[in-house]
Every structure is written in C-alpha cells, then in structure tokens.
Amino acid sequence: MRNVDVLVVGGGPGGLAAAARLAAAGAGSVEVLEREQQAGGVPRYCAHGGFGTWSRSLTGPAYARLLTDAAVAAGAVVRTGVSALDWAGPLTLTTTGPGGPETITARAVVLATGAHERSRAARLVPGTRPAGVLTTGELQQSVHLYGQHIGSRAVIVGAQDVSYTAARTVRAAGADVVAMVTELPYPQTSPARAHDARLRGRVPLLTDTTVTELLGHGRLSGVRVRHRDGRTITLLCDTVIFTGDFVPDHELARRGGVDLDPGTRGPAVDGALRTSRPGVFAVGSVLHPVESAAMAVREGAHAAGRVMEWLTEGAWAWSAGVPVTAEPPLRWIAPGRVTPTDRLPYVLRTTTPLTRPVLEVAQDGRVLYRHRLRTAVPNRTVRLPAGWTGRVDPRGGAVRVTVKGR
C-alpha cells in the first residue's frame, strides 16, 4: 500500500497537462499511471504536424515528448506500463505493472483514460476474419511506430476528420486509397479538406453507402458495400480502415460507481470536471470522444485548479450543479452540469447537418445565450462559450440547450 496526493490515470495530453499544473502548483506527490510503454497518448503515433500552438507547430511525437517532459520537470512521476485495474476504496486503486500488483491511495484521482474506436466486431460487420482489418489507431501505430507494411489498396470506412488523416497515413505508407465510404450523404469534415482529398488526393467518396461484408480468406480481398438505393458493389482491396465512432474508455469509472452521461457515455461531470464520486475528476476524451489534444490539455489544466481547491478545502459541490440538457437534434453536451462560476467552454454535437442554425441556452423560459452558427455537422464539435453561466439560477430548473436551423 502506498499513498500519494494526486493519482492521474492515463498519460495522454489531458492527464499530463493536469499532472504538470498540479505538480507546479505544489499539490504534493503527483503520479501518472500510463498502461502503454510510453506516455503521450495518441499524438505519439500521429506523424503529421498541427500539434502545439500556432506559433510553434509540432508533430505528434514531438508534442507527446513536450508534454511528458513538462510533467516530469514540474515534479510529477510518470510511470509507464502500469494499468489501474479496480477500486479498493473511495480513492484507492489496485494496479499492476512491471513491479507486480500494487494498491495506491490518493487524496484526489484524475481519470484521463481516453477513448477508442469501435472495431469491426463492435460494428457488427459480417464476413470472414481476414488480416488487413484495422482501426485508425492500429493503422497509425503500424505505420509510424513499427514501420510495418499495411497493404497496397485500402478502403476507408468513414468521412470524418480522422478518416482523412487515415487516408493521408495510407498514402504515406505507399498504398492507394480505393475509396472512402460513409453512411451519411456528405463528408463530416471541412469543405476545403474534402475538396482537397477529392481533387489532389484523388480519393473517391461514396456517400449514403454502408459496408455490408468483408471478403477473403487469410488476407482481405475486398469489401461489399450497399448504397441507400439498394445497389451493391464489391471494392477490391487488401486493407480496410474503420475510422471514427469513438467510445470512451469508461470501464474504470463504471467500476467505481461514477455516474455516466447517457449522451457521451463517459463520466458525467460539472463545469469543474468533478464526477459524482467525491475526489474523482475526469478530463480529455473519456468525457466526450473525441476532441483535439489541445482541448484535452485545456481541460487538464482547468481540472488542476479544481483539484487544488479540493485538496485545500475538501468541498465537493457536485450536487449543487444545475443539470444541462441538450435537446434534439443535439446529440449531447459536456459538461452536463453547470455552476455560476464555471468558465470552461462546453462542447456539443448534433445528429443532423444544419445550415446557419441558432444555438440557444435557456433556463425556465429565460434566455441566457443565443448565437447563430455558420454550420453544425455530425461528428464535428460545436463549442459553446461559458460566459452565460453566471446568469444561471442555482435554485432554478435544468438549463436547456437547443439549436434550430435549416
């Protein structure tokens, strides 16, 4: 049995940012548990740029090293190859690592366990079980971490931002993209990115199309797809990449009795990123899969301040938060509870594409915020500033967030 002041479970951008800020603020002993052999999370195998800041753009691996080094330099201990298995008390976790099983008790726990893409099996795609079936994460690790050959002809399932990143990784590995396939009638990315992929990358986009079967024995030989009008064709390929459709890695939270948000399927949190379990916070993609590394870093830094308040004051205001509900066609909003002092931006998703929709926040018929957006597209985040939270009545009803558009 060991004791620490703060235990951070997950060494991705959110967890490392929280650890760095906490250690620098004098939180005491801050320890990060990372189940992989290196800390840094997903950016470790994202070889493309775009990480860091506008003035200092970094590749994913460089950004992962920067975050890890910052946490260590601030005084946090980063332990890799260590998994948190279960809870053995209110703020006590059982773990296993190179040194064997261990029980660790903390004064505060930060869950930063991330998210994962649903596999072919989880998506219930029928067919044979050949080699060559990957998720985006598996593709990027194969190419950028291990330098493995992935095949010569790939089909990308999905048309989100991450799907276009996968297409770029496929081409970087020397393979061709046969097609991108999406069930929706449009790509879920920026028009500029979709246009560039279609013209310069020469990537065919099949909309309103579903993968119905994987073919091949030993190695994938093709995928059968069906258009919404009933037409079916077979795309010849030796690799298929299932992209997007992220699910929070919430198993540890669930085992600890932490309330889960029915929309995000991650831990339900308030604007201070407190969960329903006193002393337990959550940050990053485990809350709302999946956002940018920069967003996770902001949440980690924000949570650190609230953790410090918990360590010094011991007050847990979860029950004082006012519930926030997202009305259809909105899919979810996070955080799911609000207090008047919240300053962290809210994030939300829609289930249908909307053109110039009006986003409105109201409580008991009183409008707190209204803003017209340019667009709202499924699988792309809409950000809601938190300037309206100071007008929320703590004794009033739930805050309703609605969006109306064409």
Q: What CATH number is given to the structural domain containing 140? A: 3.50.50.60
Average pLDDT of every residue of the chain: 92
Structural domain boundaries enclosing 180: 119-242
Domain boundary, last residue among 185, 208, 242:
242
Residues 361 and 401 in one domain: yes
- pLDDT of 217 > 70? The answer is yes
The mean per-residue pLDDT over the stretch 336-361 comes to 89
Residues 124 and 237 in one domain: yes
pLDDT-derived band at 55, boundaries 50, 70, 90: low
pLDDT of residue 199: 62
Residues 327 and 303 in one domain: no
pLDDT-derived band at 261, boundaries 50, 70, 90: very high
pLDDT of residue 54: 62
pLDDT of residue 134: 96
Residues 191 and 253 in one domain: no
Tell me the C-alpha distance between 188 and 4, whole Å: 43
pLDDT-derived band at 379, boundaries 50, 70, 90: confident
Residues 123 and 205 in one domain: yes
Domain boundary, last residue among 208, 242, 276:
242
The set of residues, in sequence order, having a beta carbon less than 8 Å from that of 12 and lying 6+ positions away, is 39, 40, 41, 42, 43, 112, 114, 284, 285, 293, 296
Check: CB of residue 343 under 8 Å from CB of residue 270. no
Query: Which long-range CB contacts under 8 A does 289-293 form with residues at least 24 apart?
Result: 289/115, 289/246, 289/247, 289/248, 289/264, 290/115, 290/162, 290/246, 291/347, 291/381, 293/12, 293/13, 293/41, 293/42, 293/43, 293/51, 293/60, 293/63
Q: Which of 234, 82, 60 is nearest to 136 (CA)?
A: 60
Q: Is 284 left (phi over 0), alpha (psi -120 to 50) or beta?
A: left
- pLDDT of 286 > 70? The answer is yes
Q: Which of 69, 19, 62, 66 is nearest to 44 (CA)?
A: 62
Tell me the C-alpha distance between 96 and 113, whole Å: 16
Residues 175 and 202 in one domain: yes
Bigger pLDDT: 147 or 85? 85
Which span out of 65-74, 145-154, 373-382 was modeled with the highest average pLDDT?
65-74
Lowest mean pLDDT among 121-135, 264-278, 315-329: 315-329
pLDDT-derived band at 406, boundaries 50, 70, 90: low
The mean per-residue pLDDT over the stretch 252-270 comes to 95
Structural domains counted in the chain:
3
Lowest mean pLDDT among 15-19, 24-28, 387-391: 387-391
Burial class (CB in 10 A: 0-12, 13-18, 19+), 228: exposed
Tell me the residue type at 118. Answer: R
Q: What CATH number is associated with residue 365?
A: 2.60.40
162-211 tens-digit pLDDT: 999 899 999 989 999 999 999 988 888 777 777 677 766 678 899 999 99
Structure tokens at 118: 């649903």
Task: Tell me, rounded to whole angstroms, the distance of Cα 190 from its chain centroid.
Answer: 19
pLDDT-derived band at 106, boundaries 50, 70, 90: very high
pLDDT-derived band at 39, boundaries 50, 70, 90: very high
Residues 392 and 328 in one domain: yes
Structure tokens at 225: 């797809």
Q: What are phi and psi of 323, to 5 degrees?
A: -60, 145
Structure tokens at 261: 């948000």
pLDDT of residue 366: 96
Residues in a beta bridge with 83? 96
